[in-house]
Chains A and B, each alone.
Chain A
């Protein structure tokens, strides 16, 4: 599936958004680069508990075309900022079981510091900005939308994330 709704180059949605289990091993195998001495892989896995309740499974929904485009842009920006040799990110949609990976980010650079920093930057932005939503289904039969980005409750601004405020405070 390719989107062409934007003036930006079309991106292959399935590269960034997948309704199938994420192939961490395969993605990692493809993320080695002769100039990169450091490869960092972050996997956001589904926990069996949240807010003191037992989680049965999660379901993710996305505006897939928009999410793919935004992830591509975030990766491009990180690549430029840290001179990454490789930057990969993929987010799962649909039902995701406990212990499975919901999102993966891989960064490869000559040295580890940049690989870690860029990886954290990419996952933070994906979690907070990209139109993907989590619904938690608990074992007691209840469900709850959201749960990760409640930044607006902390910052008082629906469009301001906590890490943006932290950045301002640190400057």
Chain B
């Protein structure tokens, strides 16, 4: 599973990185991210997760080849 982050999340994580396949859902992925960088807690709490370009909720069951985008609040325009 590969993760891509955007905007201010890049101050906390690499732009793209591989996460362990043992992570079963978004909630466990979130915990993994906090273990990588505890300082990201507040930023992550306002983010949404998307798999294959669709938003998913925290119960979403991750699959082996999922491409996960972590989406901070939008600030377009």
A residues bordering B, Cβ < 8 Å?
3, 5-6, 44, 60-63, 65-67, 69, 91, 102-103, 123, 126-135, 145-152, 158-159
Is B19 part of the binding interface, using a Cβ–Cβ cutoff of 8 Å? no
Interfacial chain A residues near B52, Cβ < 8 Å: 5-6
Give the interface size bracket for B toward A: 20 to 34
Shortest CB distance B61–A (Å): 18
- Name, among B6, B53, B69, B74, the residue most crowded by chain A CB atoms within 10 Å (CB to CB): B74
Which residue from B7, B46, B47, B76 sits with its C-beta under 8 Å from A130?
A: B76
Inter-subunit contact A134/B45 (CB<8 Å)? no
Inter-subunit contact A131/B69 (CB<8 Å)? yes
Inter-subunit contact B48/A132 (CB<8 Å)? no
Interfacial chain B residues near A44, Cβ < 8 Å: 77
Inter-subunit contact A66/B75 (CB<8 Å)? no
Which residue from B6, B45, B46 sits with its C-beta under 8 Å from A61?
A: B6
Q: Which of B39-77 contact A (CB under 8 A)?
A: 45-48, 50, 52-54, 69, 71-77
Inter-subunit contact B76/A152 (CB<8 Å)? no
Inter-subunit contact B77/A63 (CB<8 Å)? no
Interface of A is mostly: mixed
- Name, among B45, B69, B73, the residue most crowded by chain A CB atoms within 10 Å (CB to CB): B73
Closest B residue to A159 by beta carbon equals: B48
Which residue from B6, B50, B72, B75 sits with its C-beta under 8 Å from A147?
A: B75
Closest B residue to A7 by beta carbon equals: B54
Closest B residue to A60 by beta carbon equals: B76
Shortest CB distance B3–A (Å): 12
Is B8 part of the binding interface, using a Cβ–Cβ cutoff of 8 Å? yes
Shortest CB distance A4–B (Å): 10
Task: Other than A63-B69, A131-B69, give 5 A-B pairs with Cβ distance below 8 A.
Answer: A5-B53, A66-B53, A131-B50, A131-B71, A148-B76
Inter-subunit contact A102/B69 (CB<8 Å)? no
Interfacial chain A residues near B46, Cβ < 8 Å: 152, 158
Inter-subunit contact A146/B73 (CB<8 Å)? yes
Q: Known: A149-B73, A158-B73. Contact between A133 and B53, CB under 8 A?
A: no
Closest A residue to B50 by beta carbon equals: A66
Interfacial chain B residues near A149, Cβ < 8 Å: 73-75
Interfacial chain A residues near B50, Cβ < 8 Å: 63, 66, 131
